[in-house]
Structure 1
Amino acid sequence: MKSPVTGGNRLELITTFPTESIIKIYEDELKVDTRRFFKGVPAVELYECRDTGYRFYYPEGILGDGQFYADLNKDDVGYYSTTRWEHTYATSLIKPGQKVLEIGAGDGFFLEQLKKSNIDAIGLELNVAAIAKGEKKGLRMYNEMIEDHADGHVGEYDVVCCFQVLEHIYNVKSFLDASLKALKRGGKLIIGVPNNNPYLFKQDKWHTLNLPPHHAGLWNKRAFTELQKFYDVTPQDIIVEPLSNNKSFARRWYLAQRNYYKEKKSFLGGLISIIPAPIGKMVVKLFSPWIDGFNIVAVFTKN
């Protein structure tokens, strides 16, 4: 076994997840059947790449397919968000006249924003239903892997970006190598992912959509910072969204901390137990601008 991000073998087993528990969580919370992904797999392991701090699930074949993502977005429930903090930040880094490639473009929301700003952009997406929606908006979208696309568009783009995509990729090295192959020298690689430090919301390792087959790996600031040692890039900025940007995530963050410390029976857990929940949530809201929130955006320049 090798690290999906470096190809090295400095790995550490962190924990295991019984697959029946994962299957039940998806069924109970999202009404999505995931049993087909776990045939012959009694438990999923979580490893950490010691060189970067990146954590990934094993075995590697447990990845969502097109039907899985269609199930998540059934009845147009809004799986593809239109209010992403990282979109606003990324747009501020892209100049008119630059050529942009978005990998995993969903139904084209970000491409549409770039089009309104007269920025030349195309998108790659594997969900054919999402592509159909984007094409109805007049967007250029293709059902193509980045590895295949890069072979025919070497050094073509000023900006290559992906949002809420890299955490779904097992072979991170292949993905990043191809992304950089399509990028001009001096161009920007912009990546937005959920913040895991070390788990989503720090302690909630059982958060449903953070588990396979939805996610293949868990990213944090350190993992992005260390990429410059293994790829020909220079970090330009690595920033974390403040918790205050999303009230519902702030509430879930509080509940995750409360449940974790209660389970550990620590002093903090005892303190939280005697504080009424409304007061605890009020305290979190007060300090949320200084608490790391749900997402990370990493910006790299290709050397």
Structure 2
Amino acid sequence: MKSPVTGGNRVELITTFPTESIVKIYEDKLNVDTRRFFKGVPAVELYECTETGYRFYAPEGILGDGQFYADLNKDNEGYYPTNKWEHKYAISQIKPGEKVLEIGAGDGFFLEQLKKANIDAIGLELNLDAIAKGEKKGLRMYNEMIEDHAAAHPDTYDVVCCFQVLEHIYQVKSFLDAAIKALKKGGKLIIGVPNNNPYMFKQDKWQTLNLPPHHAGLWNRKAFTELPKFYNITPLDIIVEPLSNTKEYAKPWYVAQRSYYKETSPVLGGLMSIVPRPIYKLAVKALSPWIDGINIIAVFTKN
């Protein structure tokens, strides 16, 4: 087993997930059938790259297809949010006149924001329907893999960015090598992903959308901090979105902590269980600006 980030073999098995349990969670919580992705796979393994802290699932061929994402979007309103924290931050890092490439542009929401700001940008996207929607808005979008695009356009862009994409990629090294190749020297690489420390809400390893076939891997601050050891980049900023930005996650965050401590520290878990909901909601609300939330954004420059 090799690390998708480094290509090295310094990896450690963290835990396993029975396939039937994953299938049942998707059915019960999201009304999505995932059984077809796990044929011949009795259990999914979670490994950690010990050189970076990045965690990834195995085997490789269990990631979602177009129908899977259509099913998610159909019954789960808000799966594709438009008002993203990381979009606002990224725009603050882009200067007028810079040339921007977005990988995994969806139907072009971020590209549209750049266009309104008079920033020259194009997007790569594999969903043809999404490209069609983007083109109707007058956006420039292409059905290309970043590896192919970078080979044809090396050292071209001032900024290369991707949002909520890298966690769905198994071949991380190939993806990042290509994204960096497309950048000019001194250009910025901006990456937004879900924050896992080590799991969504810190403790809940069964958080549904963190599991395959939705996610290939789990990112955290440490994993981004270690990337410059393996890539020709220098970190400029690594920021975790505060929990206060997503108030609807306050209750699940507390419940996840409570469940964790019931197993690891029964006394503390028991005390947390008797705290009335109105009290812990007020406490979490007050502390939420200092609690790590659900997203992380990392900014690097190409050396």
TM-score tier after normalising by the smaller chain length: over 0.9
Q: Which residue of 2 aligns with 1:181?
A: 181
Identity, % of aligned pairs? 81
3-state secondary structure, aligned to 1:203: coil
Q: Distance in 2 between matches of 1:152 and 1:36?
A: 36
Once the two structures are TM-superposed, the CA of residue 262 in structure 1 deviates from its matched residue by 2.3
Question: Any idea what the Cα deviations from partners look like across 1:182-216, whole Å, max 9, x if unmatched?
Answer: 11110000000011001111111111110001100
Structure 2 SS opposite 1:17: strand
Deviations 1:277-300 (A, max 9, x none): 221121111101011111110000
2:282 maps to a residue whose letter is M
Q: Which amino acid aligns with 1:91?
A: I
CA positional deviation for 1:138: 1.3
Give, in angstroms, the shift of residue 265 of structure 1. Answer: 4.9
Number of the residue aligned with 2:13: 13
Give the drift of 1:264.
3.5
CA contact (8 A) 2:180 2:189 kept: yes
How far has the Cα of 1:2 moved from its partner? 0.6
- Contact 1:131 1:141 (C-alpha < 8 Å) held by counterparts: yes
Secondary structure of the structure 1 residue equivalent to 2:227: helix
Q: Which residue of 2 aligns with 1:88?
A: 88
**For the residues of structure 1 that align with 2:269 and 2:217, how far apart are their CA atoms?**
29
Which residue of structure 1 aligns with residue 114 of structure 2? 114
Alignment of 1:1-303 (within 5 A): 1-74=1-74, 77-303=77-303
> TM-score scaled by structure 1?
0.97
Q: 1:76 to 1:215 in 2, by over 3 A?
A: closer
Contact 1:70-1:127 at 8 Å conserved across structures: no
After superposition, give the CA deviation of every residue in 1:116-162 in whole Å (9 maximum; x if it has no partner).
00111111112222222212211111221111111111111100000
Ranges in structure 2 where 5+ consecutive residues have no aligned partner: none
* Pairs aligned (count): 303
Deviates more, 1:27-36 or 1:95-104: 27-36
Counterpart CA distance in 2 for 1:26 and 1:134 is 30
How far has the Cα of 1:257 moved from its partner? 1.1
Classify the secondary structure of the residue corresponding to 2:14.
strand
Please, which moves more after superposition, 9-18 or 65-74? 65-74
Cα–Cα, structure 1 residues 68 and 18, in superposed 2: closer, same or farther, change >3 Å? same
Please give the per-residue CA displacement for 1:8-45, whole angstroms capped at 9, x wherever unaligned: 11111000001111111111111111111111100000
Deviation, structure 1 residue 75: 6.7
Which deviates further from its counterpart, 22-31 or 290-299?
A: 22-31
- Aligned-partner residue type, residue 255 of structure 1: V
1:193 & 1:184 partners in 2: Cα distance?
23
SS of 1:4 mapped into structure 2: coil
Q: Distance between the aligned counterparts of 1:215 and 1:238, measured in 2?
A: 21
SS of the residue 1:73 aligns to: helix
**For 2:10 and 2:41, how far apart are their aligned partners in 1?**
24
Question: Which amino acid letter does the alignment assign opposite residue 168 of structure 1?
Answer: H
- After superposing on structure 2, the runs of 4+ consecutive aligned residues of structure 1 that deviate more than 4 Å are none
Letter in 2 for 1:294: I
* Deviations 1:161-185, CA, capped at 9 Å, x for gaps: 0001000000100000000111111
Structure 2: how far apart are the matches of 1:76 and 1:273? 29
Matched position secondary structure for 2:118: coil
Q: Following the alignment from structure 2 to structure 1, what is the Cα–Cα distance between the partners of residues 141 and 97? A: 19
Stretch deviating more after TM superposition (160-169 or 250-259): 250-259
For 1:74 and 1:273, the matched residues in 2 are separated by 35
The one-letter code sitting in structure 2 at the alignment partner of 1:244 is S
TM-score (norm 2): 0.97
